[in-house]
Structure formats: structure tokens, C-alpha cells
Structure 1
Amino acid sequence: MSVFLRDLKRFLLVAFGGFLMALNIVIFVQSADLFPGGLTGITLLLQNIFLKYFNIHLPYSITVYAFNLIPVWIGFKFIGKRFTFFSVVMIFISGLFTDILSGFEWLHLTDDILLCTVFGGILNAVSVVLCLFAESSSGGTDFIAIYISEKTGRSAWNLIFGFNCIVLFFAGILVGWDKALYSIIFQYASSQVTTLLYKKYSKITLLIITDKSDEIYATIKNLTNHGATVFEGRGEYSGKTHKMVYTVVSAAESGSLEKHLRTVDPNAFINVIESKDILGRFFKRQPD
């Protein structure tokens, strides 16, 4: 795929993700007065406070753009310029369409706070994952979560969830505990669906019993750039000697790799194990 087509695909993903984010804020979040995670939640909280106590309407877009200045700088400095550029596209589109769609009353679907909490959390996760698939983010604390994940090799979404709960503590004091508690459910649903759909930071161990170890290793190296270790052993049932190829890849790479390995050696016996933790050198593609 050419660089132009790849960037076009990334742009379309972040644009759609940004539109879904805005749609979710208008249909579910604002309808139930919820507070999503990160800077989006802080922006909505400030809008609520200024409107309630000072009768001043803060534009969502301008406020969230201002809050994202420092995270965007972190992205350019420590993560990747192209990664940050597409993240900025997502931030701009989500902010712009949130203000535009807020004027359409027909987008109000339900006043049921539980429905808004659950489906809002799911839709929020989908919009975030679309950006992650485009090798970008939805901005705000996502920059921080990805920075931590890239440095440690572990998912940081639950850490961000904990930070968001602290923010919601203050939201409960200022605007009411019922909205804050439902927002915790919203954020929990969003973080769990994000972890379920996005597997980059999960690790999979493959144990492959094969008679074509060289071809198997070449496939692993070409597709994932990961190494492998080859052991020799004897099958007690057949009494024959076979090779076992041991490798660790990311969960996002595992599905495609297994299909290619099956093509290389249809008779291979492949044991797929979820790895809890990996210590030592492990190849990771860095954001561009």
C-alpha cells in the first residue's frame, strides 16, 4: 500500500472516529449529563459549572482545543509527529461536530440514564479504537496512556480509568453524585470495550511443533519482525523427532500469523497461549 493510500485510510478512520465521538457526546453524554473520561469529561464539567453558576455557555470546541495543547506537545515530542497530526485531526473534527450537532434537537433519543451510560460507553470505545487502528489517538489523556504503554509495554487504560475516577469525585461534589456514579459505569464500559477490541499491548506465545522449522521461522520474521527459538524433541506417541518453534508476538499480529503458518505447514501443531508478562527484549513498532 502506498504512503498516500495509507495516510488516506488513516485520515478516514480518524475523521469517522471524531464524528462518532461528537455524535456520542450529543446523543448519550449530554442527554444524561454524564462525564466521559479525560479532557472531554473535564470540558463538559466546566461547561456545566459555568452554565449552572455563572449562566455562561462555554463553546465545547474552543475549550477542548485549549486543554489539548499540552498533550499534543507531548505527542509531538515523545510519541510521533504523524501520529500526533492525525490525533489533532480527530480532536478538531470531534470538537467541531460536537458544537454543530448540539443544535439538532432530533438527535435526542432517550432520557434513560442507564441506556445512555451503557451505550454511550460502548460508542465512546468504538470511536477511540478507530483512532488507535489508524495509529493515532482521540487526544487528551490518550496521549498519556499511549506514551506509558509504549514505554512499559503494558496497557495503561485501567490507570487512566483510575485518574478519571478522581476527576469524577470532584464532579460529584460540584454537580451531583448520581451523575458522577453513572459516569464511572460509562468509563468502565468504555475502558473494558477498548481493551477488548484493541490488542496491540497483549502478548501471545506460540509453540509450534513442525517439520518445517526454517520456513516457519522465515514466515514469523517476515510478518512480525519477531525472532524465535527452535527446540528439538521426540513425539512419544509416534516416536519421531520434530522441531518446536517458540515465539512471542502481539495479540494483534497473532490471528494473521496463525493463518500464514497453517499455509506453510498444514500439519503443524500450534499451541496459542496468552502471555501475562514479558521480561527482556521484545520488538515493538513505534508510532510514526
Structure 2
Amino acid sequence: MGTVQHKSNTGKLIARAIVVIIGGFIAAYGLEAVLIPNSVSDGGVTGISIVGSQLFGLPLGVLIALLNIPFIFLGYKQIGKTFAILSILGIASLSVGTSLMHHIPTIIHGDTLLVTVVGGIILGFGMGLALRNGGALDGIDMLAVLLSRKLPFGTSDLILFLNVFVFIIVSTVFGLKGAILSGIAYFIASKVITIVEEGLSGSKTYKIITKDPDTMTETIRDRLGRSATYDEVYGGYSKEKFIEITCVINRLEDSKMKEIIRDVDPAAFVTVYETAEVKGGNFRKRNIH
């Protein structure tokens, strides 16, 4: 039984890895066929890489790979090994994709509105595919997760704040108009990501009723670095007493949380809520390695 389960998990991981790689190539196509030829950039580490590529004539793919290395390490420490591996695959495919597609024909010329909309949609779709399957194509989210532990701001606020600086840097190469268009394309991409990966922004609250709450809580602590709280709840008909676990996670940890629940108790009753803001308490998490 254990061997069958292991093979099933391995198969699912390989399938997720393939989709993350496809997401990386789709995002690369959005950059090389739409945005960059029209002097429009992305946000995050990719945006800084595009600026470096334009300023110093270095290959964009090389810069994307190099600048994301420290952020992949952050992802490994904060979210786990699987997330780091999938992110390496995603960032590598984005990096290789931009190199392979560097001379690909530009599909839209000059129409700034169409460039930002189409480029943002393609970019967001690629990034959303990767995030939905447990990987990331840009390290700025991981930095925001780390900073949210140290500062009294939510992850989403910090992503926005960090990207303001990125677009200021973008304006030095593409001008103010280019930076504004880049910001619009990034905004559209972020909305598409939300559509592709539901509930991506902010945090999520998980409420779990399971036959083995102690094991579930310990596994969440050990594999995700998150603490949880207990509530006593009673069945409306049976009056039977249950323990309900409540745990708040950030958006990057969602696929890992689902994996933990599936591994510990596939029959657990789980409800998930969008959480607009988290402050105080014990939301800070510890490193898991």
C-alpha cells in the first residue's frame, strides 16, 4: 500500500513539475514576443533582470537565473524543499525560454493598450500555472514573505511596495511612460494570476476537522513551520464532540497545506477562507530546515 501511495505522489509531483515548466515558457513568451520589444517590463526580480539586460547587454536568461538564486534559498527555508525544486524548474524554464525566444517575431507593435493587456495576460497565465502547482517564477514573493515576518505589513502590501521600487528602476531605462505601462501590465498579470490560482492574494485560513488532530497539527508544524489553534465543536445532529484545527497560512503555502492534509487524513473535513489581513498573535513562522 505504501509503495502504491509513493508512486502516486511521485506521479503527481512529476505532473506538477511539467506544468510549472510550461508556465515558465508561457511567461517567457509574453516577455519576448510582447512586452520587451515594446519597451515594457515586468515587476519583481524579472523586471530588475530586464533593466540589467538592457543596461549592460547581458543575456536576460542568465540574469533571471542568477538574481533568483538567493530567493530560491529563502523559499527553501520558508516553504520547503518541494517548493524550492519546483521554483528552480520554473525559473530555469523562464530563463531558458527567454534565451530561446529572444529573436521570436513580435506579435504586437506599437499599440500600447494592447501590448499591456495581452502581455499582462500571457505573463499572468504562465505565472499562475506555476503558482497553482506549487512553484514560483519570481523571487520577490519569497522576499515579501520573509519581510512580513519582520515588519508589521501583510505579504500583499510588501509585494506592492517592493514593486514600486522596481518600476522606479525600470523608468531609468524605459522612461516614465515605459514604467507606467510596465506597472499596468504587471497589475493585469497579477489579476490573471488570481484567476488562474484562486485566492492567491493575501492569506488563507484553514479550518480542519480530522480524526487525528494531534498528528495533523504536528505535521503542519514540522513540514510548514506553522502553529495552529484548537476549538471544540459539536455535531448539530449527533451532538458528538470534535476538535477543529484553525491555521492561517500565506498564499505561497497553499499547495503544501493541501498536500499535508491529503497525506495525514484524506477524509478530513476542510473549509478554507480568504483572509484579507493578519496582524499580531503567533502568525510568524519558524524555518523548517
TM-score, length of structure 2 as denominator length = 0.68
Whole-angstrom distance in 2 between the partners of 1:4 and 1:158: 35
Sequence identity percentage: 23
The CA deviation at 1:278 is 6.7
The CA deviation at 1:153 is 11
Whole-angstrom distance in 2 between the partners of 1:273 and 1:22: 30
Whole-angstrom distance in 2 between the partners of 1:38 and 1:49: 17
Whole-angstrom distance in 1 between the partners of 2:90 and 2:115: 23
The CA deviation at 1:72 is 2.7
Pair 1:279–1:244, CA change in 2 (3 A): farther
Whole-angstrom distance in 2 between the partners of 1:40 and 1:102: 15
The CA deviation at 1:117 is 1.1
Partner amino acid for 1:68?
N
Q: Give the secondary structure class of the aligned counterpart of 1:157.
A: helix
8 Å Cα contact 2:45/2:68 also seen in 1? yes
Pair 1:111–1:280, CA change in 2 (3 A): same
Whole-angstrom distance in 1 between the partners of 2:199 and 2:91: 23
Spell out the pairing of 1:13-162 with structure 2 (5 A cutoff): 13-50=19-56, 57-105=57-105, 107-148=106-147, 156-162=155-161
Q: Which residue is 1:238 aligned to?
A: none
Whole-angstrom distance in 2 between the partners of 1:75 and 1:229: 31
Q: Give the secondary structure class of the aligned counterpart of 2:12.
A: helix
Whole-angstrom distance in 1 between the partners of 2:172 and 2:76: 35
Pair 1:24–1:158, CA change in 2 (3 A): farther
Whole-angstrom distance in 2 between the partners of 1:90 and 1:137: 6
Structure having the higher Rg? 1
**CA shift digits 1:165-184 (9 cap, x unpaired):** 22222332343111111111
Whole-angstrom distance in 2 between the partners of 1:220 and 1:83: 26
8 Å Cα contact 1:79/1:147 also seen in 2? no
The CA deviation at 1:100 is 1.0
Q: Which residue is 1:5 aligned to?
A: 11
Partner amino acid for 1:113?
T
Whole-angstrom distance in 2 between the partners of 1:139 and 1:69: 10
Q: Give the secondary structure class of the aligned counterpart of 1:63.
A: helix
8 Å Cα contact 1:14/1:131 also seen in 2? yes
> Please, which runs of 5 or more residues in structure 2 have no aligned partner?
218-227, 259-267
8 Å Cα contact 1:203/1:276 also seen in 2? no
The CA deviation at 1:195 is 4.6
Aligned CA RMSD, in angstroms, stands at 4.4
8 Å Cα contact 1:39/1:67 also seen in 2? yes
Whole-angstrom distance in 1 between the partners of 2:288 and 2:135: 8
Please state if 1:202 is matched with 2:208: no
Whole-angstrom distance in 1 between the partners of 2:167 and 2:151: 27
> Please, which runs of 5 or more residues in structure 1 have no aligned partner?
51-56, 207-215, 235-240, 255-259, 263-269
Q: Which residue is 1:257 aligned to?
A: none
**CA shift digits 1:72-120 (9 cap, x unpaired):** 3333444423321221111111111111112222x52343111221232
Whole-angstrom distance in 2 between the partners of 1:119 and 1:220: 48
8 Å Cα contact 2:199/2:274 also seen in 1? no
